[in-house]
Amino acid sequence: DTAVSQTPKYLVTQMGNDKSIKCEQNLGHDTMYWYKQDSKKFLKIMFSYNNKELIINETVPNRFSPKSPDKAHLNLHINSLELGDSAVYFCASSSLAGVETQYFGPGTRLLVL
Amino acid sequence: QKEVEQNSGPLSVPEGAIASLNCTYSDRGSQSFFWYRQYSGKSPELIMSIYSNGDKEDGRFTAQLNKASQYVSLLIRDSQPSDSATYLCAVNMVGQAGTALIFGKGTTLSVSS
């Protein structure tokens, strides 16, 4: 049983395109997150959702828009992709925002050409 | 700017030795502290969590927390080559918009056989 799953695992696309990454968790958690891990392996929070509501929105360009249709899903849509968006994007979930353990998905490797 | 600091390494130890990984954090209000292990190309996985001052042991791993010094450490006893990975320290930090985990940049551990 996969606790936190993401699709796709790999995404190669051209600059200027729009793409989406999907995340689902079957842990019954209330809080979900998107992290970006850059080429230097630095893992940084982008967004946090609690029960479908946005609670954290770090300094992220408006081209990134998260959407949570229900508390088990958190998708990330990226408009007008840029070279600097190339990174690994991890989805995570936890039972209590920022306090309890976060469980990570396998990551989506995005390469913008 | 709330920060989590780790030595990037690499930290090299021989098989069977003790590996000591250190982390300092800037937010005195932090309540939850985590050590994650990340193998190359994989997602972070939880090794230890610690919430109160002192030591917490789990198998070959011991986490130590000193809130007065704003310091967290991870000791790995009887290090094995399979322990070779990047170890990420994560600390919860409360901001205006909610609570998030802030990650350090990670320490790369190499265990030689």
* DSSP bridge pairs for B79: none
The distance in angstroms from the start CA to the end CA of chain A is 34
Low-confidence winner among A31-35, A98-102, B43-47 (lowest mean pLDDT): A98-102
Q: How far is A20 from chain B (nearest CA, A)?
A: 19
Q: How far is A79 from chain B (nearest CA, A)?
A: 24
What pLDDT is stored for residue B70 in this prediction? 95
Average model confidence (pLDDT) for chain A?
90
Size of interface A-B (CB pairs under 8 A): 64
Check pLDDT > 90 for residue A99.
Answer: no
Low-confidence winner among A38-52, B15-29, B65-79 (lowest mean pLDDT): A38-52
**A93-96 long-range CB contacts below 8 Å, 24 or more apart?**
A93/A3, A93/A4, A93/A25, A93/A27, A93/A29, A93/A31, A93/A32, A93/A33, A94/A29, A94/A31, A94/A33, A95/A27, A95/A28, A95/A29, A95/A30, A95/A31, A96/A30, A96/A31
- Whether B101 and chain A come into contact, CB under 8 Å, resolves to yes
The confidence band for B74, taking pLDDT boundaries of 50, 70 and 90, is very high
Check pLDDT > 70 for residue B92.
Answer: yes
Low-confidence winner among A1-10, A26-35, A43-52, B7-16 (lowest mean pLDDT): A43-52
Rounded percentage of chain A residues whose pLDDT exceeds 70: 96
